[in-house]
Amino acid sequence: MRLSSLDHLVVVAPTLAAGAQYVERRLGVEMQPGGKHARMGTHNLLLRLGDAYLEVIAPDPDAAPPTRTRWFGLDALEADAEPRLAHWVARTQGLAQADARLTQTFGTIESMSRGTLSWQISIHADGHLPLGGMLPSLIDWGDAEPPARGLIDRGCRVQRLELRHPDAVVLGQQLEAIGFSGPVAVIPGEGPGLLACIETPTGLKTL
């Protein structure tokens, strides 16, 4: 597996409408349509952040219930829950060759698709997010162009991603183990917490 970098940020929401309102209220920009994930019974909206992107993801009310636990902890999300930045995903290559040590930490490597896009991603079978969402999922787009570059550029960029966790040392060691490089700061905290500082056309905003 090669070195990893920031691929995208994940906002979980009970509905796409609620998630879109949250992002527009915080960042002052509109998201664009994404698509559906048939295996997971979810759908999403997207916002380009340079070579990375922001994803709002929610259960798809028109999809058949999945035969497995949904990713990103969505099955535990209450119908009236506030949308929140819950997780992030690191882009790498050679994920299919991940060893047992890596999959035990990050999750099983599975094939996924949305429309014409296909990729491999690490997912824990029970849907939980490692280290409370502070440790990233890993994604491999293969030979395809990362999707961020095909999105509308609204002038937003990630300036800093703060990861707070009681086991900050362990978190930092895991990021070193996957050779992560990016604007990430690991900070000790009483509980898991994720803060993204994003440059927008109207100034620096946070999620």
pLDDT value, residue 188 = 95
Mean pLDDT to the nearest integer, 27-45: 94
**What are the extents of the domains in the chain?**
5-206
Tokens matching residue 96: 């299919």
Mean pLDDT to the nearest integer, 6-13: 97
Digit-coded pLDDT (tens) for 103-152 = 889 999 988 888 888 899 999 988 888 899 999 999 999 888 888 989 99
Give, as one character, the DSSP assignment of residue 99: -
Q: Residue 123: which residues within 8 A CB-CB, separation 6 or more?
A: 71, 107, 108, 110, 137
Digit-coded pLDDT (tens) for 160-191 = 999 999 999 999 999 998 999 999 999 998 88
pLDDT value, residue 97 = 82
Burial state string for 141-164 with b = 16 or more CB within 10 A and e = fewer than 16: beeeebbbeebeebebebeebbbb
Topology of domain 5-206, CATH: 2,3-Dihydroxybiphenyl 1,2-Dioxygenase; domain 1 (3.10.180)
pLDDT value, residue 90 = 95
pLDDT band at 5 (very low <50, low <70, confident <90, very high): very high
Look up the pTM and report it. Answer: 0.94
Torsion angle, alpha carbons of 180, 123, 127, 167, to 10: -30
pLDDT value, residue 39 = 87
Residue the block writes with tokens 């690191």: 90
Q: For residue 1, is pLDDT > 60?
A: no
pLDDT value, residue 101 = 84
Q: How far apart are CA 134 and CA 53, in angstroms?
A: 17
Q: How far apart are CA 54 and CA 16, in angstroms?
A: 13
Digit-coded pLDDT (tens) for 37-78 = 988 999 999 999 999 999 999 999 999 889 889 998 898 899
